[in-house]
């Protein structure tokens, strides 16, 4: 097992998820219900399930799509998302 891949994935997902709507929802649920452990377990299981689906989908895509096409489509999606967020920030969209 490559620990570099583990560390890189951890950091990428950790910072991508930090402060997103899922974290805000978990914060709100824990604050309003006082059921901290239950909220932690539910949110953790949801993240594990979503990640498991993403990993298996990614593995399937990797088997059926050439790497160079996958890289180009990924880059295009990131640029499109960035452009959309930029336009949204300035009230254009």
Q: What is the pLDDT of residue 20?
A: 82
Q: What is the pLDDT of residue 53?
A: 96
Q: What is the pLDDT of residue 17?
A: 82
Give 44's pLDDT tier (boundaries 50, 70, 90). Answer: very high
The more confident residue out of 67 and 18 is 67
What is the mean pLDDT of the segment spanning 43-63? 93
Share of the chain above pLDDT 90, in %: 67
Task: Annotate the chain with DSSP letters as a single string.
Answer: --HHHHHHHHHHHHHHHTTSHHHHHHHHHHHHH--HHHHHHHHHHHHHHHHHHHHHHHHHHHHHS-HHHHHHHHHHHHHHHHHHHHHHHTT--
């Amino acid at each position: 097992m490559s620990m570099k891949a583990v560390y890189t994935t951890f950091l990428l997902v950790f910072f991508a998820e930090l402060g997103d709507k899922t974290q805000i929802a978990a914060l709100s649920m824990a604050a309003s219900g006082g059921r901290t452990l239950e909220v932690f377990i539910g949110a953790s299981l949801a993240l594990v399930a979503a990640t498991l689906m993403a990993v298996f989908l990614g593995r399937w895509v990797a088997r059926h799509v050439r790497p160079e096409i996958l890289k180009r489509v990924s880059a295009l999606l990131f640029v499109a998302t960035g452009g959309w967020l930029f336009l949204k920030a300035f009230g254009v969209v």
